[in-house]
Amino acid sequence: MKIAVIGAGSMGCMLGGYLQLGGADVTLVVRRKELMDALNEKGLTVRMYEDGDSASSLNIPVKAAVDVKDLGVMDALLVMVKGPDTKAAMDSAKALIGDNTRVITLQNGIGNVDIIKGYVPEDRIYYGCLNMSATMDSPGTISGGLFGSNNIFIGSVTRGKKQKEFGEGFCELFRKGGITATYTDDIDREVWYKLLMNIAVNASCGLVRLRGGEAGEDPQFMLLAMDMVKEAIAVAHAIGIELDLGYFMAEILPTARKSSGKHYPSMAHDMMISKTKTEIDFINGAVERLGASAGVPTPVNTTVSRLVRVIENNYQRQYFPKAKGNAASFTITINEKFCKGCGYCVRYCPKNVIIIEENDKAVVKDLGGCIGCLNCATICPEAAITVSKE
Ligand code: SF4
Ligand code: SF4
């Protein structure tokens, strides 16, 4: 099966790698030439982590492209861009879509299927959700984690024999590649349970500027999370999707906490570090939208969505401490035991204070340049850096 992964960032690359291992002919469509070159020259390296420890590492030969015009028509497109980019991604992928091309979206949240319906008929659209995490440590090298008893759920917009056959076949490629994947007619339930997880922590971690695990230790944060989750469950019920709060609390939330508690959710990352448009309209904003049309009040999700939109609209005007450039002002501590050498701190430091040494560990090279912006401590996926003011 000829498959193009559209918007192959960390998760898209990882999924494409597993499809390739499962026997598909995969092209990873990426944004940056640097990433394309690294993937084509050195393949994709995937390091899997379990409970914070490295469990396995593999290298997968892959094809990558920035420009899709010579790739030809695909059997399937796997769409993995962030929600706000779905329309632009589908516009740019038109040359890959033929009369039989299927489109699968495993993006976060609710709303991407409606956009994709503008490009292919709904009997060729599939959607689902993931119980996986992925971080790109350097171009072509991904750290990943799997959680839950099943890593990928896929279903189809219209339910028929043809859709089931294709969906089962697509999942079989993942399974042959080495991860669990299930085609199900009950896909909305799985997608909504995943949505509840995102609703509980993604936007609010960005607002309070805490990692998932840190935020989860605060009872006030958990009350906020539960208010949003309960509203979402009420909206789901109103549109015919039965969800159980007890099951979510007992089975789903603890697994998610265990696997991602050390990280900033992607929306928090967008709000604090990359300062880009977030997926708010596909997560809490989707609950706000669907609640309004179903007549279910969603005051907490609406308030959180509005706060995130205000931040998105004003990145350039927000308050940040003024640069001091004073050698005596800040102390930076890097815990060597936790550092895995991903280089994010180096890339996001505006003053070139940190370097990676030959042993793949980050060290402070020029403390005098530090302006205390906290980018390094915020971005570090291992929480290895502490910046303090003297
Ligand atoms: S300190 Fe953190 S961000 Fe910097 S290289 Fe180590 S793990 Fe990566
Ligand atoms: S606090 Fe800012 S300036 Fe200082 S080392 Fe970290 S990223 Fe660089």
Residues 335 and 337: their CA atoms lie apart, in Å, by 5
Residue 299 is predicted with a pLDDT of: 98
* 353 Cα to the center of ligand 2, angstroms: 6
- What pTM did the predictor assign? 0.82
Q: What is the pLDDT of residue 322?
A: 58
Give 374-383 pLDDT, tens digit per residue: 888 888 888 8
Tens digits of per-residue pLDDT, 217-243? 999 999 999 999 999 999 999 999 999
Q: Number of H helices and number of E strands within the chain?
A: 15, 16
Hey, what CATH topology would domain 2-185 get?
A: Rossmann fold (3.40.50)
For residue 344 and ligand 1, the question of a CB distance below 6 A is answered with: yes
Q: Is the model more confident about 328 or about 269?
A: 269
Q: Answer for the pair 183, 169: CB distance below 8 angstroms, yes or no.
A: no
What pairs with residue 49 in β-bridges? Answer: 54
Q: How many angstroms separate the alpha carbon of residue 216 from the centre of ligand 2?
A: 26
Pocket of ligand 1 contains residue 387 by CB under 6 Å: no
pLDDT exceeds 80 at position 51 = no
354 CA: nearest ligand 2 atom: 5
CB 180 within 8 A of CB 152: yes
Distances from the Cα of 190 to the Cα of 106, 152, 236, 338, angstroms: 12, 10, 12, 34
CATH fold group of domain 189-317: N-(1-d-carboxylethyl)-l-norvaline Dehydrogenase; domain 2 (1.10.1040)
pLDDT for position 32: 86
User: Is there a contact between 195 and 127 (Cβ–Cβ < 8 Å)?
Assistant: no
**Ligand 1 binding pocket mutation candidate from 380, 386, 387 (most atoms within 8 A of CB):** 380
194: tokens are 């995943």
For ligand 1, whether the C-beta of 380 sits within 6 Å is: yes
Burial of 299 from C-beta contacts in 10 A (0-12 / 13-18 / 19+): exposed
Task: Quickly state the pLDDT bin for 293 (edges 50, 70, 90).
Answer: very high
DSSP 283: T
At residue 351 the predicted structure's pLDDT band, cuts being 50, 70 and 90, is confident
362-373 residue pLDDT tens: 999 888 888 888
Question: Cβ distance 348 to 273 under 8 Å?
Answer: yes
111-125, 133-147, 168-182: range with lowest mean pLDDT:
133-147
The residue that leads in pLDDT, 176 or 351, is: 176
Look at residue 327 and tell me whether its pLDDT is greater than 70: no
| pLDDT digit string, tens, across residues 61-86 | 999 999 998 999 999 999 999 999 99
Report the CATH architecture of 330-389: 2-Layer Sandwich (3.30)
User: Which tens digit of pLDDT belongs to each residue from 177-190?
Assistant: 999 999 999 999 99
Compute, in angstroms, the gap from residue 362 CA to the centroid of ligand 2: 12
Listed by start position, the domains of the chain span 2-185, 189-317, 330-389
Kindly give the distance from the C-alpha atom of residue 168 to the centroid of ligand 2, in angstroms, as a whole number: 48
**Tell me, what's the pLDDT at 182?**
97
Distance (Å, rounded) from C-alpha 147 to C-alpha 130?
9
Mean pLDDT taken over the chain: 91
Give the model confidence (pLDDT) of 184-219 as tens digits: 999 999 999 999 999 999 999 999 998 888 898 999
Residue 342 Cα to ligand 1 middle (Å): 5
343 Cα nearest atom in ligand 1: 5
Range 22-51 average pLDDT: 91
Task: State mean pLDDT over 37-50.
Answer: 90
54 pLDDT above the threshold of 70: no
Q: Which atom of ligand 1 is nearest to the CA of 341?
A: 5
Ligand nearest to the CA of 352: 2
The number of the ligand nearest the C-alpha atom of 338 reads 1
